[in-house]
Chain A
Amino acid sequence: MAKHTLSVLVENRSGVLSRVSGLFSRRGFNIDSLAVGVTEDPEVSRMTIVVDGDDYTVEQVNKQLNKLIDVIKIRTLEPSESVSRELALIKVNATPANRTEIMQIVEIFRAKIVDVSKNTLTVEASGTNEKVTALEDMLRQFGIKEIVRTGTIAIERGNKYIKAGNNEE
């Protein structure tokens, strides 16, 4: 099934996240990832929701989300016309023998080492979901102790933007 990315502006109030996530479970929709944060307007939050499903599912997700009073605006983002990123922190086993190799891999992926201890390295990586997954795969051979991923955030390219008011371009 295809993945679809929805950019959803919602009122920045308590309970909104549970309404949105509850809608997914109640209606049997499959959330791939959900990332949320406040926008340039402190009263508005933006959710980036990645949905796994066919066209019917995406249309229904769109329409059912629109019914929620706290949802201000929804747009389905076309992959070719949007930029998406995910942030990950990966804590990997590191011995004196393989530390250099790990650092080389991190370098290739344009990731960063943000913490170091005698036995571990913590890597910060950002990029598309696929890139982060590829880095994770490469680091797995050393033994990953812990991993945290934010889920995808996405924004449209160029002059297009989504605002809570009617001033869209």
Chain B
Amino acid sequence: MKLTGAQVMVKSLELEGISTLFGYPGAAISPFYDALLDSTLTHILTRNEQGAAHAASGYSRVTGKVGVCVSTSGPGATNLITGIATAYSDSIPLVAITGQVQSDLIGRDVFQEADITGATEPFCKHNYLVKDVRELPRIIKEAFHIAATGRPGPVVIDVPIDIQTQEIDFKYPKEIEIRGYKPNYKGHPQQIKKIAEAISIAKSPLICAGGGVITAKASDLLTKFAEKCGIPVVTTLMGIGTIPGDHSLNLGMLGSHGVYCANYAVNNTDLLILIGARVGDRALGTTGKIAQKAKIIHIDIDPAEIGKNVSTSIPVVGDVRLVLEDLLEIVKGGDTKQWLSMVLETKQTRKKTIDIQTKNVNPRLVIDSLSQKLSADAIMTTEVGQNQIWAANSFIARKAGAFITSGGLGTMGYGLPAAIGVKKGKPESTVVVVAGDGSFQMSMPELGTIKQEGLAIKIIIFNNSRLGMVRELQKNRHNGRYSQVYLDSNPDFVKLAEAYGFSAERITDNSQVDSALDRLLADDKTYILECIVDPEEATV
């Protein structure tokens, strides 16, 4: 079958089982967009390429499929970059397809030329510049394989426009042979035995669950493991939902923005079991220093994570799900009653009651009330900043994948476009975006995408007319010398919503929260709830 490169790209995506992709056309990718017209693929036109990458990321996180985003060359491709780096930090499988200028003009600084493979090299799992159309089927096959297997991540395919128009006899490869890429899935039995032994003698063991547990679809096994051995669980920001938020063994999020109980447990454990967690600096506090009195077990599919940020007594390289399956067969658990009663008491006594006397709207009250009203299959995406931490610490994620955030890179402007992908991937779920007034404005034009696609997304904006997280940092670290954190020209978000044809309201007092949330959730379209928050409101 003779196909052009562009037709090969489209056909290969279909053969990879892709049904939805996110992108923004331009000259250097125009043959691909032309071929798209004759395909079954659904394309979502975002308002910026960065939105396309984040939407593909959100889509991937709820469907388990590889997210696909497309852009043209030059500025289109560079706009994708933040989304690619975000996916890399959070290990999200993504294939980013970029158009490139004509092959023989590469390197001549022609119109809309940028070296996107060079630019993305440090923060993508792999990338390709296609130089021969005959290599295109193999490259696409490899790209999807690399993105989705091992530790997932983004892969970039840069396709010059002339490659898209050249014809080949199309045959999609069935097998892949990449000599240097053979992920190790099965954990070493001897190491797993060592874990079981360490647990049997530990007095105060603690599990730290990260996003890798969600990627490995192992949250059910993690909960079973914790229950069987009577071990409490702390989660990282990316690990929220790995054990249900209302589970008695869940101590909450650890780290500099985590809860007291989780950090108390980390400081007093004698056996810390890190599972699919890279122990980033926000979780550690000080790099390399965590649970100093404890023996450390680290289970991760990426060997490079083990020993990178914390030295480990028992390293296990393997797929978290397979390792937990093997471990559950042999582990018996020790006597943790005293330890459990101690940490659970800490959880009870230090549980903050939400102060409803706060000035304006208390964001914790909003998230807490929202959690009570949402069903278990609801999905929350967040922006980055104070809103993210308020949401992380107050939202009850009842299952894995219910809380979607930019954990590693901390990308403002992630939540809104990610929600578009989430809603496309799981149309039956209620999708709520939690945003700050600053981060919301980073991707605000994506309201147009929501409108065009007719999506029903619930948006809560915590408006304190500040870059709240930075302001707090300046308060604590720079003696209150506030620099460039005032957002004095915020638009009227209610009127803005109305301009797009969405319903919206603004609340200024805690007494309005309950009924406003009811209206937000009852509306069958996109709804914006703006909550005026006291700028002095602390993050934790």
Write the residues of chain A forming the contact surface with B, with a CB cutoff of 8 angstroms: 10-11, 15, 18-19, 22-23, 26, 56, 59-60, 63-64, 66-73, 164
Given contact pairs A15-B129, A26-B122, A69-B126, A63 touches B303 in the complex (Cβ within 8 A):
yes
B117, A15: Cβ atoms under 8 Å? yes
- CB contact list, B356-400 vs A, under 8 A: none
B122, A69: Cβ atoms under 8 Å? no
Which of chain A's residues have a CB closer than 8 A to the CB of B118? 18
A69, B178: Cβ atoms under 8 Å? yes
Which of chain A's residues have a CB closer than 8 A to the CB of B303? 63, 66
Q: Chain A: interface secondary structure?
A: helix
B304, A63: Cβ atoms under 8 Å? yes
How many Å from the CB of B89 to the closest CB on chain A? 14
Q: Could you list 10 A-B pairs, sorted by A, with CB under 8 Å?
A: A11-B180, A15-B117, A15-B129, A18-B118, A22-B121, A59-B307, A63-B306, A63-B308, A69-B146, A72-B180
Closest chain B residue, CB of each to CB of A27: B122
Given contact pairs A63-B303, A66-B304, A69-B146, A22 touches B122 in the complex (Cβ within 8 A):
yes
How many Å from the CB of B530 to the closest CB on chain A? 41
Within the assembled complex, what's the spacing in Å between the Cα atoms of A18 and B118?
8
Question: For the complex, is B179 an interface residue (Cβ under 8 Å from A)?
Answer: yes
A69, B181: Cβ atoms under 8 Å? yes
B304, A67: Cβ atoms under 8 Å? yes
B121, A60: Cβ atoms under 8 Å? no
A69, B180: Cβ atoms under 8 Å? yes
Ranked 5 nearest A-B pairs via Cβ: A63-B304, A72-B180, A69-B126, A26-B122, A72-B179
B121, A69: Cβ atoms under 8 Å? no
Write the residues of chain B forming the contact surface with A, with a CB cutoff of 8 angstroms: 117-118, 121-122, 125-126, 129, 146, 178-181, 302-304, 306-308
A60, B180: Cβ atoms under 8 Å? no
Q: In the complex, given contacts A26-B122, A63-B304, A69-B181, what are 16 additional A-B residue pairs having Cβ atoms less than 8 angstroms apart?
A: A15-B117, A15-B121, A22-B122, A23-B122, A56-B307, A59-B307, A63-B306, A63-B307, A63-B308, A64-B304, A69-B126, A69-B178, A69-B180, A72-B180, A73-B180, A164-B179
B308, A60: Cβ atoms under 8 Å? yes
B121, A19: Cβ atoms under 8 Å? yes
A70, B180: Cβ atoms under 8 Å? yes
Which of chain A's residues have a CB closer than 8 A to the CB of B302? 67
Which of chain A's residues have a CB closer than 8 A to the CB of B307? 56, 59-60, 63
Closest chain A residue, CB of each to CB of B302: A67
Within the assembled complex, what's the spacing in Å between the Cα atoms of A63 and B298?
15
Within the assembled complex, what's the spacing in Å between the Cα atoms of A13 and B201?
51
Closest chain B residue, CB of each to CB of A74: B180
Which of chain A's residues have a CB closer than 8 A to the CB of B308? 60, 63
Counting chain A CB atoms within 10 Å of each CB, the highest count among B117, B146, B304, B307 belongs to B304
Counting chain B CB atoms within 10 Å of each CB, the highest count among A18, A22, A63 belongs to A63
Within the assembled complex, what's the spacing in Å between the Cα atoms of A15 and B117?
9
Which of chain B's residues have a CB closer than 8 A to the CB of A19? 121
Closest chain B residue, CB of each to CB of A19: B121
Within the assembled complex, what's the spacing in Å between the Cα atoms of A18 and B119?
11
Which of chain A's residues have a CB closer than 8 A to the CB of B125? 69
Closest chain A residue, CB of each to CB of B155: A69
B179, A11: Cβ atoms under 8 Å? yes
B180, A10: Cβ atoms under 8 Å? yes
B180, A18: Cβ atoms under 8 Å? no
Within the assembled complex, what's the spacing in Å between the Cα atoms of A59 and B307?
9
How many Å from the CB of B170 to the closest CB on chain A? 23
Within the assembled complex, what's the spacing in Å between the Cα atoms of A115 and B400?
71
Within the assembled complex, what's the spacing in Å between the Cα atoms of A8 and B308?
21
Within the assembled complex, what's the spacing in Å between the Cα atoms of A73 and B302?
16
Within the assembled complex, what's the spacing in Å between the Cα atoms of A72 and B181?
7
Which of chain B's residues have a CB closer than 8 A to the CB of A64? 304
Which of chain B's residues have a CB closer than 8 A to the CB of A70? 180
A71, B180: Cβ atoms under 8 Å? yes
